[in-house]
Chain A
Amino acid sequence: AQSVSQHNHHVILSEAASLELGCNYSYGGTVNLFWYVQYPGQHLQLLLKYFSGDPLVKGIKGFEAEFIKSKFSFNLRKPSVQWSDTAEYFCAVNGGYGGSQGNLIFGKGTKLSVKP
């Protein structure tokens, strides 16, 4: 069955540092990919998504992600983080061989702590 791996459990950065969070999924085929963010005390909210087209997608708050089909990856990036980016980040997928057409399959999440 489809699964999602997020490589880092906890990342600690200083403000203005660059960020890259890894995400890999297990099965190919036509997939839809998402990054969700959960700020402390808030709901999960969508950061960005990839359905088709340009593999470099831009989301809110200066985040972007690149879909590399050959690597089954969808890494999240931000050139310069801010203290307000402190949150937990979840990569999710639907579709693909062994996957679903409705529900999302999430990774375990990466907690990002940004030091002021």
Chain B
Amino acid sequence: DTAVSQTPKYLVTQMGNDKSIKCEQNLGHDTMYWYKQDSKKFLKIMFSYNNKELIINETVPNRFSPKSPDKAHLNLHINSLELGDSAVYFCASSGLAHSGANVLTFGAGSRLTVL
């Protein structure tokens, strides 16, 4: 019944490796996001897709590549991992409330640790 589910929950890997995080939502939302939460808990948007099309691409290194095979899925692939990539990555999806507001629903997060 989980609305936004992401896997894996934990990732521990060596510098230089490549890793992927997968996300799926069953809310019927058209828009999905990746947010990064650093060690100080600051939440920063990385990417946003609307109906499989990239609509927001913040200043993120090219080593990060999102892919949306359909509007219910948004994956994040990270090449050549660096120590500074260690963070919690949150997937989210959004739909319009009756008020017209953009309500985000977050997944439980994927904690990436780069050694």
- The reply to whether chain A is a binding partner of chain B is no
Chain A interface residues (CB < 8 Å from chain B) = none
